[in-house]
Homo-oligomer: A and B are copies of this chain.
Amino acid sequence: LYTDTVMDHFMHPRNVGEIADADGVGQVGNAKCGDIMKMYLKIKDGVIEDVKFETFGCGSAIASSSMATEMIKGKTIDEALAVTNRQVVEALGGLPAHKLHCSVLAEESIKSAIKNYYDRN
Q: Please list the residues of chain A having a beta carbon within 8 angstroms of any beta carbon in chain B.
A: 1-2, 10, 32-36, 55-61, 96, 98-99, 101-102
Whether A96 pairs with B58 at a CB distance below 8 angstroms is no
23 CB < 8 A contacts A-B:
A1-B36, A1-B56, A2-B56, A10-B56, A32-B32, A32-B33, A33-B33, A33-B35, A33-B58, A33-B101, A33-B102, A34-B96, A34-B98, A34-B99, A35-B58, A55-B59, A56-B58, A56-B59, A56-B60, A57-B58, A57-B59, A58-B58, A58-B61
CB distance from A14 to the nearest CB of B (A): 18
Chain B residues whose CB sits within 8 angstroms of the CB of A2 once the complex forms: 56
Q: How far is the CB of A29 from the nearest CB of chain B, in Å?
A: 9
Give the distance in Å from the alpha carbon of A102 to the alpha carbon of B61 in the complex: 15
CA distance A54 to B60 in the complex (A): 15
Nearest-neighbor residue (CB-CB) of A100 within chain B = B34
Bound-complex Cα distance A36 to B34 (A): 16
